[in-house]
Amino acid sequence: MSKIRIGVIGTGYLGKFHAQKYAAMEDVDLVGVVDPVSDVAKTVAAANNTKPFSDYHKLLPLVDAVSIVVPTSLHHRVGMDCLKSGVDIMLEKPMTTTIAEADELIALGAEKDKIIQVGHLEQFNPAIMAMEEHLATPIFIESHRIHTFKNRALDVDVVLDLMIHDIDIILSIVKAPLKTVHTVGLPVVTEATDIANARLIFENGCTANVTVSRISQDNIRRLRIFQPQSFITVDYGKKELTVIKQAKELDKDGMPQRTFFNSCYMEIDALEMELRDFVGNVRNRTRPKVAGEEGRRALKVATEIIDQIKSHLDLHRDQLGL
pLDDT at 292: 97
Q: Give residue 189's pLDDT.
A: 82
Structural domains of the chain ordered from first start: 4-120+271-291 (3.40.50.720), 123-268+302-315 (3.30.360.10)
Instruction: Give pLDDT, residue 293.
Output: 97
- pLDDT in the model for residue 238: 95
Helix (H) or strand (E) holding 240: strand 240-250
Contact between residue 119 and residue 273 where contact means Cβ atoms under 8 Å apart = no
Amino acid at 107: A
Q: How far is CA 67 from CA 214, 250, 315, 320, in A?
A: 25, 53, 40, 42
Burial 130-165 (b: 16+ CB within 10 A, else e): bbeebbeebeebebbbbbeeeeebbebbbbbbbbbb
Residue 316 has what pLDDT?
67
pLDDT the model gives residue 321:
60
Tell me the torsion sign for CA atoms 247, 205, 130, 219.
negative
Q: Residue 38 and residue 42: Cα distance in Å, rounded?
A: 6
Neighbours of 204 (CB within 10 A): 13
Q: State the DSSP code for 291.
A: B
Q: Are 275 and 67 in contact (CB under 8 A)?
A: yes
CB 213 within 8 A of CB 221: no
Contact in structure between 93 and 295 (CB atoms under 8 Å): yes
Q: What is the pTM of this model?
A: 0.90
pLDDT the model gives residue 22: 98
pLDDT along the chain (322 residues), means of 10: 94 95 97 96 97 98 98 96 98 95 98 98 96 95 91 76 95 96 88 91 97 91 95 96 85 75 93 98 97 97 94 73 61
Say what the pLDDT of residue 257 is: 76
Q: Give the closest residue to 145 by CA, choosing from 118, 166, 120, 170.
A: 166
